[in-house]
Amino acid sequence: MIIRRYLLSFLFSFNGMMYELMLSQNLSAALGGTLLRYFITVGLFTLCLGFSALLFDYLPEKIKTSSNLRRLNVFFLVGLIFLPLYFYCLDYFLKIDLYSYSFFQYAYHLPLVAIAIVTGFEIPFLFHGQTDELKSKILAFDYGGMFFACLAFPLFLIENFGLFGTFALALVLQFVILWQIRRLL
């Protein structure tokens, strides 16, 4: 049970960081890659992670269950499946100049905000009801997952699978996460 929490912590953070890196890559391709845009993306992702982790403390106790963590991830997975369609529509509207360029700067960041909020809820769910010692270990696996994603994305995944293949791999890992959460129940 405890090892499963460590694995979930690693997978949550690995996948969350992978989504952030993929969205940064997509934003750079669609809106022009600048260092400022990347910093805004990372900063917004981190802000939303912290906001949702803080918000978790204000949720009623009856909501802080593994079954609700699973429901959150099912909802998350369904949204992720439609993410390419969302970006395809935005790209189409950008090409035909239907909306202003500044509209797209905000619209392209909406999935990033949603993903960061969901990702920010996941670790507090794993923390809930655990001792301080276990929380520290869960957090260590969380940081390890983020670090590993930051190395694997540019050095291996994007080079070998491209953006779409890496996204497909992240969706497969999201199914693994759901399977592991189900075993946590």
Does position 7 have pLDDT exceeding 90, yes or no? yes
Mean pLDDT of all residues in 81-88: 88
How large is the average pLDDT for residues 146-160? 95
Q: Is 180 exposed, middle or buried (0-12, 13-18, 19+ CB in 10 A)?
A: middle
Give the chain's domain count: 1
The predicted structure's pLDDT at residue 27: 80
What pLDDT does residue 9 have?
Answer: 94
Structural domain boundaries enclosing 84: 2-184
Q: How far apart are CA 138 and CA 172, in angstroms?
A: 22
Residue position matching structure tokens 């923390």: 127
Residue 38's pLDDT is 80
Tokens 């890196």, located at residue: 21
Across the chain, mean pLDDT equals 88
Of all residues in the chain, the percent with pLDDT exceeding 90 is: 49
In the structure, what pLDDT confidence band is assigned to residue 2 with cuts at 50, 70 and 90? Answer: confident
pTM: 0.87
As a whole number, mean pLDDT of residues 28-54 equals: 85
In the prediction, which pLDDT does 168 show?
93
Exposed, middle or buried: residue 76 (CB in 10 Å: 0-12, 13-18, 19+)? buried
Q: What is the pLDDT of residues 115-128, one digit of tens each?
A: 999 999 999 998 88
Q: Is 3 exposed, middle or buried (0-12, 13-18, 19+ CB in 10 A)?
A: exposed
